Amino acid sequence: MNERGLDRDGMIAREGALDRVPATFVPAVDAARARITETFGDTRLHSAYLYGSIPRGTATPGVSDLDLQLVLHDEPTEGDRADAEAIEAVLDRAFPQIDGVGILLTSTRVLLSDVERHDGGFFIACLCTPLLGPDLAEELPRYRPTALLARETNGDLARVLPRWRAKAAEATTDADRRILSRFVGRRIVRTGFTLIMPRWGGWTSDLDQSAELFGRYYPERLEQMRVATTVGRAPSSDPVVLGMLINDLGPWLAAEYTAVHGDKAPRP
Q: What CA–CA distance (Å, rounded) separates 257 from 88?
A: 34
CA dist list (Å): 140 to 37, 45, 115: 24, 18, 13
Per-residue pLDDT averaged across 228-242, rounded? 94
Is it the case that residue 136 has pLDDT exceeding 90? yes
CB atoms within 10 A of CB 76: 18
CB distance 115 to 265 below 8 Å: yes
DSSP class of 134:
S
As to burial, measured by CB atoms within 10 angstroms (0-12 exposed, 13-18 middle, 19+ buried), residue 114 is exposed
Average pLDDT across the chain, whole number: 97
pLDDT of residue 207 exceeding 90, the answer is: yes
* Model confidence pLDDT, tens digit, residues 21-33: 999 999 999 999 9
**Residue 211 confidence (pLDDT) above 90:** yes
List, in sequence order, the alpha helices (H) in the chain.
26-44, 53-56, 78-94, 108-111, 120-122, 147-154, 157-170, 174-200, 207-217, 222-233, 239-244, 250-261
**128, 15 in Cβ contact below 8 A?**
no
pLDDT tens for residues 46-57? 999 999 999 999
Q: Please report the pLDDT score of residue 154 as a whole number.
A: 97
Evaluate if residue 1 carries a pLDDT over 90: no
Q: Is-contact 48 33, C-beta < 8 A?
A: yes
pLDDT of residue 267: 87
pLDDT above 90 covers what percent of the chain?
97
Instruction: Report which of 70, 57, 69 is spatially closest to residue 25, judged by C-alpha positions.
Output: 57
pTM: predicted TM-score of the whole model, two decimal places: 0.93
- 203 pLDDT exceeds 90? yes
Q: Per-residue pLDDT averaged across 2-16, rounded?
A: 95
What is the reported pLDDT for 268? 80
Q: Which of 146, 149, 219, 233 is nearest to 188 (CA)?
A: 233
What digits encode the pLDDT tens for the residues 176-187? Answer: 999 999 999 999
pLDDT digits (tens, 9 = 90+) for 143-183: 999 999 999 999 999 999 999 999 999 999 999 999 999 99
Q: What pLDDT does residue 206 have? A: 95
